[in-house]
Amino acid sequence: MMRVLLASMLCWMVVATSVHSQSTQARFDNALNLSTSGDNIAAYDSLLAIESDGHRSGKLYYNLGVIATKLDSLSVAKLYFIAASRYSETRPLALEGIQYLDSRFPQRVAELPRLPWEQFFDWLNRTFGIYVLYWSVVAIANIGVLLYMLGWYVGRPRWLRGAYISATLYVVTFLAVTLYIDSREQRFDDAVIIRGQYALKETPDSNAAVVSQAYEGFSFTVDTKRSAEHPGWLYVRMSNGLFGWLPEGSLRSI
């Protein structure tokens, strides 16, 4: 009886997931049809509703960026293109969109390339994701344990020692990488000034020295951990490498 009940629950879960997926896709397609017919406001609201339901994807953010561009909300569009650039499937198009939007803003700022190892971590996160990296570490760790136990029966031939050492190195290295990527995702947010201009301050004080001026469309990386230590302020890094403080509410992030 218990097996039948569990099987029934599993079937219902599979059906419910499938129906939800089909429903989300239907809403997504309907939003794109609205945009194609020229009703971009309704299309934008429809896509926002999908996002508010917890759906996340590169295609969703990219199309939000495209429609926001049609609505002439360039800074909002840039924010969504930045979000879309986190996904491998939409990254090339999203980067083109960001480049196009930057050319339309009246003020521009120099863009420093990300450090090579940061680019590598970004690639790992976009391509595999935290959960795949984590479970690969768990799988290789279990293989390493099995190899170690196998040594109790067959001794320690060179191939077995090599396999065990390789598994250990993989687990240690990728566990550290996964924890770093996860902590970075939790701590840092990408954000954009949606409207207005602000003075980037040297310290979290309205009377502090000005580091630089920031305008609509400028993008930042927000250190949420350090920002939490000073309510009302955000500790940020500009795309040109400058660090400073902006008042809370000046930026919008996803």
Query: What Cα–Cα distance (Å) separates residue 110 from each residue in 69, 84, 240?
Result: 22, 21, 5
Look at residue 3 in the predicted model and tell me its pLDDT.
44
Indicate the pTM of the whole model.
0.81
Residue pair 216/75 in contact (Cβ under 8 Å)? The answer is yes
Can you list the positions of beta strands (E) in the chain? 188-192, 197-201, 210-215, 219-223, 233-238, 243-247, 252-253
- pLDDT per position as a tens digit, 228-248: 999 999 999 998 889 999 999
- For the chain, the average pLDDT equals 87
Q: What CA–CA distance (Å, rounded) separates 36 from 49?
A: 18
Residue pair 61/190 in contact (Cβ under 8 Å)? The answer is no
User: Residue 49 pLDDT > 60, yes or no?
Assistant: yes
- Token duo for residue 194: 């949606």
Residues 198-210 have a mean pLDDT of: 95
Residue 226 pairs in a beta bridge with none
Residues 199-210 have a mean pLDDT of: 95
**pLDDT above 70 as % of the chain:** 91
Residue whose tokens read 């403080």: 245
Look at residue 21 in the predicted model and tell me its pLDDT.
52
Element (H, E) at 36: helix 2-36
Phi, psi of 152 (to 5 degrees): -65, -25
Look at residue 6 in the predicted model and tell me its pLDDT.
38
Residues 94-104 have a mean pLDDT of: 94
